[in-house]
Chains A and B, each alone.
Chain A
Amino acid sequence: MTKALIVNNLKKKYKEVEALKGISFEVGEGEIFGLVGPNGAGKSTALKIIATILSPTSGSVTVFDYDIKKDAAKIREIISYLPEEAGAYKNLSGIAYLKFMAAIFTDDTEKQKEYLEFAIKIADLRSRLKDKAKTYSKGMTRKLLIARTVMSKPKLIILDEPTSGLDVINAYEIRNIIRDLAKQGMSVLLSSHNMLEIEFLSQRIGIIHEGKIHVTGTPAELKKEYQANNLEEVFVKLNS
């Protein structure tokens, strides 16, 4: 079976700081894989490397058999990345932003229309799509960006803290969107420091701390192995 993502012994150093100390994990096709860990654990660095915007110091990353160092341009065509706390272009309306991003993903005008329709459905912002993005609430912006991320139905979706800073209703809606997308066959790699969210969404998880993945498995496997009621307890036991 083709793997959506294979990360092998990935290391990243920023001058003296070693953000990733050799992490390895895999994501299967149509799978939601959650990278969970506290702030500063190395989650965002790992995601940025997989999203081709940072280069690894050593190790390898392959996305649907494309190597991150040799085939970055090919990878960008099949992935979509949502950075943590990202915004949209303030002076563009929601619809103008989606049109712009559709044109970035494809030159084909028919496909652009298709992407746009899908994004409008996902964003569910109705008449507010005509307003400038700077007038949106945090939840509305996040929905717009999730719609942008998935509009081209990428083979691998990379989501960094997708519900960070959102209220309960908005976070709930976005979690449901992510689950629906995975059902449509898209692979999802998401990061969060919210262990309960990861447990709810992910089929498999990797617990990352201080640049190292300590353990991977399904939430049920990990809870059983560490005799814990939830992932928070697993994490505490791992670090004690």
Chain B
Amino acid sequence: MKKFLVLLKKEIRELITPQMIIPIVVMVVIFSLIGNLMSKEAKKMQTPQDINLIDQDQSQTSQEIIKILEAGNFKITILENGKIEEIMKNKPDRETLPLIIIPAGLEKGLNKFEAQKIAIYRRVKSFSLLSSIKSGNLDRVVALINENLSNQLISKNLKNANPQFLKYPVVSSEFVLIGANVANIGLSQLMGAMQSQTAFIPIILFIVIIMAAQMVAAAVAAEKENKTFETLLSSPIGRKTIVLAKLVGSGIVALLFAAFYMFGFRSYIQGITGGNGAPKNPALIEALNKLGLNFGSGDYILLGISLFLAILCALAIAIILGILAEDVKGVQTVITPLMVMIMIPYFLTLFFDINTLSPVLKYLVYAIPFSHPFLASQNILTHNYLPVILGIVYELVIFIIFVIIASKIFSSDKVLTIKLSFKKKKLFNR
């Protein structure tokens, strides 16, 4: 045990280097900055949006429209009427755009039940997500005017009529079922809430598993390259102890870095959602509670076990792949199949429901040990515990099998003699 701890300490000291820490700290800082930026932009969007307006109609209805927009969180600046091109040319963008023009004859046209056109001018400076959100905000102008004007037109033309009823005679009352639980909530609202809470889980799983695998494979390859491995193998220390120290050391460091990433992602999510991602709408909270869509402490333990075993599986496979690498440079090549194996469940669970895939694809996903923590987070939320437990058992079996294989390789000549050769075979024997 003492020698295991000595080796473990050495593994951790070798892994935690400035070269390893700096990119992670930079990443966490970048995530926090992006989160902060998003938060500021989101706040900016909540403040009244400036709109310039030219009222060519000068009617009671056009005045009504201005009031509707002001009530709808728009700050209106009225511009003098004139040729649009001249106005744009003579004044800077911030004094003219975005611009809404209420055309002359709008009121008369509406009274004749003729649809009217309101012109909206806006300048496009980029095609980023935030600029499109801002544009979307401006689209609200027409929706707001329509909603209010149609109510007024109905009230004016049909006495005693309820405009809401006439516009929406049928409304939906959506119910969602999970297991035996039922809640009165829209599916899209529920999906949005769940995604904001769980979106970061697969990303963290993906990063942690890949990072752990890379670390252990590089550690083994570095030992081979520096021939420190030969020294260790000829020292009075068990081969299993060497394997175990490498697995545990890389696992601890990977979990440590995962905590850093979690912190970074949390700041990022907080920036986007303005909170920790948890819903604030009381009706939504009630629906989530009714459906049992909350992680309890037992659920977190199950997810943690599944994740830890997936990391151990990745480490056990990566340690074998590290042996195949001739040097540290070769690690990326030998580890590629493992990365693909991790990417498959990551992307599939991101876009599909695994249970609806074709049987071949479904069982292929189940056969990959790294699929199970991805699937576990979804299954736990839907109280489907049997696949989670079976997944954990499967991961444990795979881990034991690969540890046995790794120990056998470490106890044989293969630890020094096997390597992947990419040299072309001779076409002709001399």
Contact = CB atoms under 8 A, between A and B. Distances in A.
Interface string B148-162: 000000000000000
A183 interface: no
Interface stretch (A2-10, A29-37, A96-104): A96-104
B416 interface: yes
Range of interface residues on B (Cβ < 8 Å)? 20 to 34
B416 to A, nearest CB: 6
Contacts of A158: 234
Interface in B398-422: 412-413, 416-417
Interface stretch (B57-65, B99-107, B223-231): B223-231
Contact of A48 (B17, B235, B237, B416): B416
B115 interface: no
A79 interface: yes
A53 interface: yes
Contact of A104 (B3, B222, B225): B3
A147 B201 CA distance: 49
A90 B18 CA distance: 13
Given A48-B416, A105-B236, A107-B2, A53 B14 contact: no
A55 B231 contact: no
A86 B235 contact: no
A85 B227 CA distance: 8
Given A103-B3, A107-B2, A83 B237 contact: no
Contacts of A107: 2-3
A88 B3 contact: no
Contacts of B234: 51-53, 76, 79-81, 158
Contacts of B329: none
Interface string B203-244: 000000000000000000010011110111111111000000
A81 B237 CA distance: 14
Contacts of B134: none
A165 B225 CA distance: 17
Nearest to B1: A107
A130 B383 CA distance: 56
Interface in A92-116: 92, 96, 100-101, 103-105, 107
B240 to A, nearest CB: 12
B416 A96 contact: no
Given A89-B226, A104-B237, A107-B3, A54 B231 contact: no
A200 interface: no
Nearest to B14: A91
Contact of A83 (B3, B6, B231): B231
A50 to B, nearest CB: 9
B91 to A, nearest CB: 63
Contacts of A105: 235-236
Interface in B233-263: 233-238
A140 to B, nearest CB: 15
A85 B228 CA distance: 10
A117 B9 CA distance: 22
A87 to B, nearest CB: 4
A73 B239 CA distance: 10
Contacts of B228: 86-89
A100 B11 CA distance: 11
A190 B121 CA distance: 86
A71 interface: no
A91 B219 CA distance: 12
Nearest to A112: B6
Interface string A53-91: 111000000000000000001001101111111111111
A81 B230 contact: yes
9 contacts: A48-B416, A53-B230, A85-B227, A86-B228, A86-B231, A87-B228, A92-B10, A104-B232, A104-B237
Question: Which 5 residue pairs spanning A and B have beta carbons closest together?
Answer: A87-B226, A86-B227, A81-B234, A51-B234, A83-B230
Given A54-B417, A76-B235, A87-B228, 17 more contacts: A51-B234, A52-B233, A54-B413, A73-B238, A83-B227, A83-B230, A86-B228, A86-B230, A87-B225, A87-B226, A87-B227, A89-B226, A96-B13, A100-B9, A103-B6, A104-B236, A105-B236
Interface of A: 14, 48, 51-55, 73, 76-77, 79-92, 96, 100-101, 103-105, 107, 148, 158
